[in-house]
Structure 1
């Protein structure tokens, strides 16, 4: 449903964007619980079947990242798992990177290798450069880079 975003009213779309911007600003100042509340408020504005909307993809990613920063790995995983099921989520290198990192840290190495390979195939080495090198080191044991 790639055209779904166009069906949101201008007012709802603007409110979602504003809430997410506020969330982003709060993340930058380290106010993670407040940022998470902003993102959840944005998600709550989506109509029923919210996973069908483009905005849900990036809102779930934002919530997932906040959960990772807050060390709430279980909730972070659920957010990225939801994001991959939203429009343009499957095949999104960033989402696959985060899922792969969580699987790796939990010891699910086959799933980690699958997700990290998807991230690498979609974005190359550069997607690994801002994170702990252990994920790329692991991937190099599984595929030829």
Structure 2
């Protein structure tokens, strides 16, 4: 207790408005720093924000964005085995924000493919494709779209 007030992170199963704003500010700060090319420093800021979110983290939608950012740090460095758990956590978030996000499916599918889990990769890459279409794959390595096409006999 500080000054007679409790510093609560959650209210009724959600992050308190005050704490949620703090997480959003830290996330935005990490985004700014990362946009200037300092991924290591951004990662530290995102990790602090992520670690501050109470357990179970998959209960809070704010976790999804931080998991995406942290996963992308490893994905862009081609450390797919490290990126994979972040995208799996984002996908399994009970808020539904991960399951309805085509980017989560794309990155999860890519990580699964890169770690040799082809059947699961097909499932998530197909979901990303269904949610968006092949244009969505343009900013990524086309091998993921080619893999999907060859495994589902798609003519695109």
- TM-score, normalising length: structure 2: 0.82
Moved over 6 A (4+): none
Partner SS for 2:37:
coil
- Write the distance in 1 (CA, Å) between the matches of 2:67 and 2:147: 26
Equivalenced residue count is 142
Indicate how the Cα distance of structure 1 residues 28 and 6 shifts in structure 2: closer, same or farther if over 3 A, else same: farther
| Counterpart in the other structure of 1:108 | 117
In the alignment, does 2:39 pair up with 1:32?
A: yes
| Counterpart in the other structure of 1:56 | 63
Equivalent pair of 2:14/2:60 in contact (CA under 8 Å): no
Question: Which has the larger Rg?
Answer: 2
Deviation sequence 1:99-125 (CA, Å, 0-9, x none): 111122233322221111011111212
| Counterpart in the other structure of 1:126 | 135
- Write the distance in 1 (CA, Å) between the matches of 2:64 and 2:77: 20
- Write the distance in 2 (CA, Å) between the matches of 1:45 and 1:117: 34
- TM-score, normalising length: structure 1: 0.87
- Write the distance in 2 (CA, Å) between the matches of 1:12 and 1:45: 9
Q: Which runs of 5+ in 1 are unaligned?
A: none
In the alignment, does 2:28 pair up with 1:17?
A: no
Equivalent pair of 2:106/2:124 in contact (CA under 8 Å): yes
How large is the RMSD of aligned CA atoms in angstroms?
A: 2.0
Give runs of aligned pairs for residues 37-116 of structure 1, distance below 5 A.
37-86=44-93, 87-88=95-96, 89-116=98-125
- Write the distance in 2 (CA, Å) between the matches of 1:30 and 1:46: 26
Deviation sequence 1:59-101 (CA, Å, 0-9, x none): 1111101121233322210100111111221242111111111
Bigger relative CO (Cα 8 Å, ≥ 6 apart) = 1
